[in-house]
Amino acid sequence: MAFDRERKKYPILEGAVPHGLRANAVIRLRGEGYTALQISDMVGTSVEMIEHYRRYADRKANGQVVLRDLREHKEEKIVKHWKSGKSK
């Protein structure tokens, strides 16, 4: 109930849930180089859960890399034009 009251004060938090905020914090801290054990101590959740969040973030990042590579490859594709057979 306290979280709901606070959430109403900040429109950007509409739809946010404590679990999701904790997951985002874990992913951000992991990106800053903290170990799973350090993060576990900071946010008060198990190391296993920290690793779960990390794997999710890694899968998401890897998928984005693949999509970016596919887009870049598509843009680099050489289009061959048909020759009309007429010489100039």
- The pLDDT value recorded for residue 84 is 66
Confidence (pTM): 0.57
Token pair of 86 as six digits: 């007429």
Cα dihedral sign, 30-35-36-39: negative
Angle at 10 between CA 22 and CA 4, to 5 degrees: 65
17 token code pair: 């849930």
> What is the model's pLDDT at position 86?
60
Segments of 11-54 assigned E as strands = none
Sign, CA torsion 40/46/49/55: positive
Chain segment 17-51, per-residue pLDDT in tens? 887 888 889 989 998 999 999 999 999 999 999 99
Which string of b and e fits 32-53 if b means at least 16 CB within 10 Å?
A: eebebeebbeebebeeebbeeb
Of residues 76 and 54, more confidence is placed in: 54
Question: Which pLDDT score is estimated for 35?
Answer: 94
